[in-house]
């Protein structure tokens, strides 16, 4: 069966510090991968998605970036965090070319920027 991992679970970082969040998927090949951010009491904002290694699409301009160095690994990064980067970050995957577009989410990372 497929599983998705995210780490760390929680993170407290000072403003201006770098960020690296990692997401890995097991049990499937060539998944579509997604990074979302969820502010408190809000819906999900799609940040990046990827349909293959090295293929990254950005949905919103920001100081975040994403990379997909391996088929089942998706990394969210920042060189300098802002206070507004605080939130709950969720990674998700879906079947490439699937007929249902169902998304499967990881447990999330709670990021607090102070």
Partner 1 sequence: SQQGEEDPQALSIQEGENATMNCSYKTSINNLQWYRQNSGRGLVHLILIRSNEREKHSGRLRVTLDTSKKSSSLLITASRAADTASYFCATVPGGSYIPTFGRGTSLIVHP
Q: State the residues that interact with partner 1 by CB under 8 A.
A: 32, 34, 36, 41-44, 46, 49, 88, 90, 92, 94, 98, 100-108, 110
Residue 15 or 40 with smaller CB distance to partner 1: 40
Q: How far is the CB of 15 from partner 1 (least distance, A)?
A: 24
Give the residue from 35, 32, 31 showing the smallest Cα distance to 109: 35
Smallest distance from partner 1 to CB 59, Å:
9
The gap between the terminal CA atoms of the chain, to the nearest Å, is 38
- Which residues touch 41 (CB under 8 Å, ≥6 apart)? none
């Amino acid at each position: 069966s497929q599983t998705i991992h995210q780490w760390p679970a929680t993170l407290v970082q000072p403003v201006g510090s770098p960020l690296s969040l990692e997401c890995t998927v097991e049990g499937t090949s060539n998944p579509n991968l997604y990074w979302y951010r969820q502010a408190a009491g809000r819906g999900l904002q799609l940040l990046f998605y990827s349909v293959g290694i090295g293929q990254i699409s950005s949905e919103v301009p920001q100081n975040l970036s994403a990379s997909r160095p391996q088929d089942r690994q998706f990394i969210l990064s920042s060189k300098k965090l802002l206070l507004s980067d605080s939130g709950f970050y969720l990674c998700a995957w879906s079947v490439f070319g699937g007929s249902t577009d169902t998304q499967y989410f990881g447990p999330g990372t709670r990021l607090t920027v102070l």
